Amino acid sequence: MKKIILLGLSMLFSMSISAKDIKTVVVTTQPQMHCENCENRIKGNLRFEKGVKKIETNIEKQQVTITYDAEKTNPETIVNSFEKFGYTATEMGNPIYGITVKDASGQDLSLSNYSGKVLLIVNTATRCGFTPQYKELEALYEKYNAQGFEILDFPCNQFGEQAPGTIQEIHEFCTANFDIRFQQFEKIDVNGPDESPLFTYLKSQQGFGGFDLTDQKGMLMDQMLRRQDTEYDKKPDIKWNFTKFLVSREGRVLKRYEPTDKVSDIEVDIQKQLK
């Protein structure tokens, strides 16, 4: 029994360590992929490379995305391995990882630091009816962070001026009331001429999908916004505080959630990405 328990603890420890070292690299190939056989050939060869954990091919975009364990290999080794089976690979950058944001201390931070992580990016406010979602978000963070999950919190004062104060004051409020531990960033705009390039990109990848009109909060949000703009639902802009975007380990913007969407539904999608 002791051996089994020790083995389980050892496996759990190693899993939590490796989750922090999961990275991705995206490449194009020459010759190009033209058919399913080309995809299968690439996958069949790469899966034997040390440290490679997942391979995804996209003929339309001519891209191969490789998820790997950074403790066991690196992008250069992976790129060079294509030569073993007759291809030349060139590393590409994912657009989201080329974006730089400012952290809570005003320092530049490249999102490439989050390559290989599953991300939930959210614009928040401290005096909003949805502010209690901080508690649910923190619960998600504590539950899945060791598996490679991060929440990136960007306070925004554009909706009813419900995020007043400095980022330091906002952080103090959030830690005092919700004991949050995920990373907060400098206050930003998410719409308009001064909007963050990050949210410009997120909106370009996932537009507004609508509120659930069978839900009371969704119905109220729809009524409020339609009074301001009868065609609000045809635009991709952020509608309110606590809009969320789920980003895969490979940097793909997978899904957008409106503030009325249930965090329990978001959790299901997070679990799928962490498998």
3-state secondary structure string, the chain? Answer: CHHHHHHHHHHHHHHHHHHHCEEEEEEEEECCCCCHHHHHHHHHHHCCCCCEEEEEEECCCCEEEEEEECCCCCHHHHHHHHHHHCCEEEEECCHHHHCEEEECCCCEEEHHHHCCCEEEEEEECCCCCCCCHHHHHHHHHHHHHHHCEEEEEEECCCCCCCCCCCHHHHHHHHHHHHCCCCEEECCCECCCCCECHHHHHHHHHCCCCCCCCCCHHHHHHHHHHHHHCCCHHHCCCCCCCCCEEEECCCCCEEEEECCCCCHHHHHHHHHHHHC
β 118-124/244-247 pair status: antiparallel
- Phi-psi region at 109: left, alpha or beta (left = phi > 0; alpha = psi -120 to 50): beta
Residue 128 among the catalytic residues: yes
Query: Annotated catalytic residue: which of 35, 38, 128, 156?
Result: 128
In whole angstroms, what separates CA 205 from the centre of its chain? 12
What is the distance between the alpha carbons of residues 127 and 119, in angstroms, rounded to a whole number? Answer: 24
Return the residue matching tokens 């306070």: 155
What is the distance between the alpha carbons of residues 266 and 245, in angstroms, rounded to a whole number? Answer: 10
- Active-site residues: which are they? 128
